[in-house]
A and B are shown apart, each in its own frame.
Chain A
Amino acid sequence: MVMLDYYFRLGLRSLRRNPMLTALMVMAIGFGVAASMTTYSVFRAVSGNPIPDKSARLFTPQIDGWGPQQNLQNNEPGEALGYIDAMALMTAHKARRQTVLYKVQLSVIPGGNRDLPLNANGYAVTSDFFTMFEVPFRYGGGWSTRDDDARASGIVISDVLNQKLFGGADSVGRTLDLGGHDYQIVGVTSHWNPRPRFYDLFSTNGFGKEPDIYMVFNRAMDLEMRPGGRNSCRGSLSYTTWQEYLQSNCVWITPWVELDSPAEVAGYRRFLTNYAAEQQHAGRFNWAPNVRLRDVMQWMDYEQVVPPESRISLAVALGFFLICLVNTIGLLLAKFMRRAGEIGVRRALGATRGEIYTQYLIEAGTVGLAGGLLGLLFTAIGVAGVGVLFRPEIAKLAKLDPSLVALTFAVAIVATVLAAFYPAWRAARVQPAWQLKSS
């Protein structure tokens, strides 16, 4: 232990000895680490699991309602469901929990001390939405399946909207006029905006603003609310009325089911295939069953949530870091071999190769530590500057949190020590006699 401390102090001393070489190494490591960490911070934010404890149990079913002629690439079915299929899944109720949802755009009619309308965007959902996705509540809660069936006018609002409308007070039980229809507030969520927004990757890129409201799906049907998000249709569009729209092949509803075991998943998959086969039998589909059942991570992967610029910049940063390491190996080699004479003396005085090896690895570690400090500084600058490259809603996600700080140091030190293996080995192989003779 005493020796390690001594080696560490020797390392610090040696850093001061060739300031140019040391500065070059520290800069190279600092830049390399910072570039990698900055891009990684974005990558981590956009590719992270938004609901880690349940992501393997939440699935979104897809049913091919278009046929091989009209499907997406590789015969992938539409990324959402039409009304007929969505309702069929809900009625069959083959999963413990299930919901269907689509984006709605409403506005709060002026009242009280506000004389201008406000946007109120959100989702029409069913009661299980809140339990399935673990929505946290500040006041009240979600609604029951009875409210679903009763096509109730209950509504859940976000705390942001609650702040705007009611100054943050408990507004449960109050009435809200949205677009000329009254709704009863049954719950106010705490801040809840999982990113990526795994539950609606059909209408969003996954990084939108927090929704303002969640309303009863059946109520939205009664009010004939057209989707406020994406709507994807095939063939020439012939619908005009709401009923015709519901019967059309347009897909706009995202379904989710919660399945707890592999057996349940297999069972649900069978159910989907059977359903599609029935539809084929009934003549509604004239193609073989083509269904998908993807869980949260598979769905995010399929929808390519991670922006390409994030992947490409991460790849470039890693390549950059690699070069910085190659550079460090070279410079460490130069630095260590300059002291061949000194090593010779120490070896002649009885130091073992292992001791030399340890000493130089520790010295490299101190270089790594210094590089890490510099890297941390550059990372902070980089994280502040990612807005140049990414959309603001994504750039905001990149943060310099304690785990990133720890990772920056760990990567800098581990990488430098790894880079030092070869130069330290060379140093330990210095022949004492040869060195002593020549000097």
Chain B
Amino acid sequence: MKLHPMIAALRRHKAGVVLIALQIALTLAIVCNAVFIIGQRIERVNRPTGLVEDNLMLVTQSWVGAPSGDQPGDVEKLDSLLQADLAALRAMPDVESVVPINSLPLLNSSWTGSVALKPGSDLRAGNARSVYYFGDEHLLKTLGLKLVAGRGFTAADVRNRGFRDSGTPAVIIVTKALADKLYPKGDALGKAIYLDGGSSPSTIIGEVERLQAPSTGSWVNGFLWNATIEPFRLNANFSRYAIRTKPGRLQAVMHAVPDVLYGVSRMRVLDDDSVKSFAQIRQEAYRSDVGMAILMGVVCLILLGVTAAGIVGLTSFWVGQRHRQIGVRRALGARKIDILHYFQMENLLISGAGALIGLGLAIGLNMLLMKHFEMDRLPVLYVLAGIVAVMALGQGAVFAPARRASNVPPVVATRSA
């Protein structure tokens, strides 16, 4: 098939050609970026926290009229309140284990600092930034963390301390990511490191495979997997308990926990948000990511539909306009398939031009998004896949009108238009 007459014919429909090409270009630009955003969000939401998330829940509560923690003796009073709660929760029949803890992955309540190989170095020049988790000897078991080296805490390792007091633990457990950052040779176990520019050492007694930081914000991106676990019960006028229930008993325990805690003491506040399953925590943390992925998906689908509809509309119009010319071509010996190919080829030309413009637009839009919304660079693969997709969309959309054109009988040529 010769392209020359086709291009000459297109010149007579400049407006329509420009509109279809423009639409293809804009669609390509938006769909590429939208699919890229979806992919990134899905990747983010699917990264494992390192916990065994089934049958895991968290209770957050505060004591009313409890000591502030500022007076001598306060910390011990608070600790006895905490111990009483722990004993009651651990005595529940459906509960497997309980740990008092300051936060959980995805909870967006963080305690951060830095760890260094040398004592007293400047806080921010620390060798690695880290998030801190505080808990007792039940922490690994309750969260379901996987120990890859060394040992977990024993009851003898665990101390209690006021929430606002500073205190350095003699022993700590770190994530493998943090251990490898500090000791790239993999010999972190047994080494002493220094927390927050302090001068007393903490010995690494264990490494866990993976434990995510509590925050899902971008500010933790540099140290998302660097976690340090300290064997402390933190004493404040509020507390958090992570609870692992027996399989399938999560709902029952969630339901029973408020009464059990009120049974220990009624002078406390438990509100609607106090008892949460880990699934709820995960859902809240990633709400906007999942929402964004859904929004982009819906926009993409409608967009492709609208673009296809536009192509169908304009091509149908052209077919109607050229009704007589098609008849003439048929009368002069063109086969049905030639007419079909003509319209398909025409569409390929237009959408090819549109895709070329769209390539530029997609990259431009991506650069704009990178500047304003912390996006990564759009991989070329996405753009290439996008080009193939819009060309296929064009061919799909043009098929019905083109087939109608190919069915125009040669006898049309003999009638006056």
Question: Contact check: which of A28, A238, A333, A338 meets B16 at CB < 8 Å?
Answer: A333
Contact between chains at A338 and B317 (CB < 8 Å): yes
Interface centre among A31, A115, A224 (most CB of B within 10 A): A31
A323-B292 contact in complex given A107-B269, A116-B266, C-beta closer than 8 Å: no
Question: CA A418 – CA B156 in complex, angstroms?
Answer: 77
Question: CA A104 – CA B294 in complex, angstroms?
Answer: 38
Contact between chains at A309 and B64 (CB < 8 Å): no
- Chain B residues with Cβ below 8 Å from A32 are 306
Within A315-364, the residues touching B (CB, 8 Å) are 316-317, 319-320, 322-324, 326-327, 329-331, 333-335, 337-338
Question: Contact check: which of A311, A323, A334 meets B307 at CB < 8 Å?
Answer: A323
Contact between chains at B314 and A333 (CB < 8 Å): yes
Selecting from B26-34, B81-89, B185-193, B333-341, the interface stretch reads: B26-34
What distance in Å separates the Cβ of A162 from its nearest Cβ neighbour in chain B?
Answer: 19
Does B80 count as interface, using CB distance less than 8 angstroms?
Answer: no
Question: Contact check: which of B19, B37, B291, B312 meets A388 at CB < 8 Å?
Answer: B291
Does B267 count as interface, using CB distance less than 8 angstroms?
Answer: yes
Contact between chains at B294 and A334 (CB < 8 Å): no
Q: Mark B327-359, 1 if CB is under 8 A from A, else 0.
A: 000000000000000000000000000000000
Does B137 count as interface, using CB distance less than 8 angstroms?
Answer: no
- Chain B residues with Cβ below 8 Å from A241 are 70
Interface size on B, residues (CB 8 A): 58
Contact between chains at B373 and A308 (CB < 8 Å): yes
- Chain B residues with Cβ below 8 Å from A237 are 166
Does B44 count as interface, using CB distance less than 8 angstroms?
Answer: no
Residue of B nearest to A105 (CB): B62
Contact between chains at B310 and A31 (CB < 8 Å): no
- Chain B residues with Cβ below 8 Å from A105 are 62
- Chain B residues with Cβ below 8 Å from A426 are 15
Contact between chains at B314 and A330 (CB < 8 Å): yes
Selecting from B3-11, B46-54, B295-303, B379-387, the interface stretch reads: B295-303
- Chain A residues with Cβ below 8 Å from B62 are 105, 107, 119
Contact between chains at B266 and A107 (CB < 8 Å): no
Does B287 count as interface, using CB distance less than 8 angstroms?
Answer: yes
Question: CA A224 – CA B290 in complex, angstroms?
Answer: 43
Residue of A nearest to B320 (CB): A338
Contact between chains at A240 and B19 (CB < 8 Å): no
Residue of A nearest to B17 (CB): A330
Does B408 count as interface, using CB distance less than 8 angstroms?
Answer: no
Does B276 count as interface, using CB distance less than 8 angstroms?
Answer: no
Question: CA A327 – CA B311 in complex, angstroms?
Answer: 9
Contact between chains at B266 and A110 (CB < 8 Å): yes
Q: Mark A240-265, 1 if CB is under 8 A from B, else 0.
A: 11100000000000000000000000
A240-B165 contact in complex given A334-B314, A439-B417, C-beta closer than 8 Å: yes
What distance in Å separates the Cβ of A364 from its nearest Cβ neighbour in chain B?
Answer: 15
Contact between chains at B310 and A327 (CB < 8 Å): yes
Question: Contact check: which of B29, B70, B307, B374 meets A224 at CB < 8 Å?
Answer: B70
What distance in Å separates the Cβ of B19 from its nearest Cβ neighbour in chain A?
Answer: 4
Question: CA A219 – CA B81 in complex, angstroms?
Answer: 28
Question: CA A329 – CA B266 in complex, angstroms?
Answer: 68
Question: CA A143 – CA B312 in complex, angstroms?
Answer: 70
What distance in Å separates the Cβ of A238 from its nearest Cβ neighbour in chain B?
Answer: 8
A35-B299 contact in complex given A240-B165, A316-B30, A320-B30, C-beta closer than 8 Å: yes
Contact between chains at B313 and A24 (CB < 8 Å): yes
- Chain B residues with Cβ below 8 Å from A224 are 68, 70
A390-B291 contact in complex given A323-B307, A334-B316, A337-B317, C-beta closer than 8 Å: yes
Contact between chains at A31 and B197 (CB < 8 Å): no
Does A299 count as interface, using CB distance less than 8 angstroms?
Answer: no
What distance in Å separates the Cβ of B134 from its nearest Cβ neighbour in chain A?
Answer: 16
Interface centre among A115, A179, A312, A326 (most CB of B within 10 A): A326
What distance in Å separates the Cβ of A276 from its nearest Cβ neighbour in chain B?
Answer: 23
Question: CA A167 – CA B309 in complex, angstroms?
Answer: 59
Contact between chains at B123 and A236 (CB < 8 Å): yes
Does B136 count as interface, using CB distance less than 8 angstroms?
Answer: no
Q: Mark A198-233, 1 if CB is under 8 A from B, else 0.
A: 000000000000000000000000001010000000
Does B271 count as interface, using CB distance less than 8 angstroms?
Answer: yes
- Chain A residues with Cβ below 8 Å from B321 are 337
Question: CA A388 – CA B294 in complex, angstroms?
Answer: 8
Question: Contact check: which of A180, A235, A242 meets B123 at CB < 8 Å?
Answer: A235
Q: Mark B394-410, 1 if CB is under 8 A from A, else 0.
A: 00000000000000000
Within B262-299, the residues touching A (CB, 8 Å) are 262, 266-269, 271, 287-288, 290-292, 294-296, 299
Question: Contact check: which of A31, A180, A313, A327 meets B292 at CB < 8 Å?
Answer: A313
Does A403 count as interface, using CB distance less than 8 angstroms?
Answer: no
Sampled A-B contacts (13; CB under 8 Å): A21-B313, A110-B267, A116-B266, A236-B198, A238-B166, A311-B372, A316-B30, A320-B303, A326-B19, A327-B309, A333-B19, A334-B16, A337-B321
Binding site for A on B (CB under 8 A): 15-16, 19-20, 22-23, 26-27, 29-30, 34, 37, 62, 64-65, 68, 70, 123, 164-166, 196-198, 262, 266-269, 271, 287-288, 290-292, 294-296, 299, 302-303, 306-307, 309-310, 312-314, 316-317, 320-321, 365, 369, 372-374, 417
Known: A240-B70, A309-B288, A422-B15. 11 other contacts (CB 8 A): A24-B312, A116-B269, A236-B197, A319-B365, A320-B30, A320-B299, A330-B20, A330-B310, A333-B19, A333-B314, A334-B316
Q: Which 10 A-B pairs have the closest CB atoms?
A: A389-B291, A334-B317, A330-B19, A327-B310, A117-B64, A107-B64, A24-B309, A388-B291, A331-B313, A309-B288
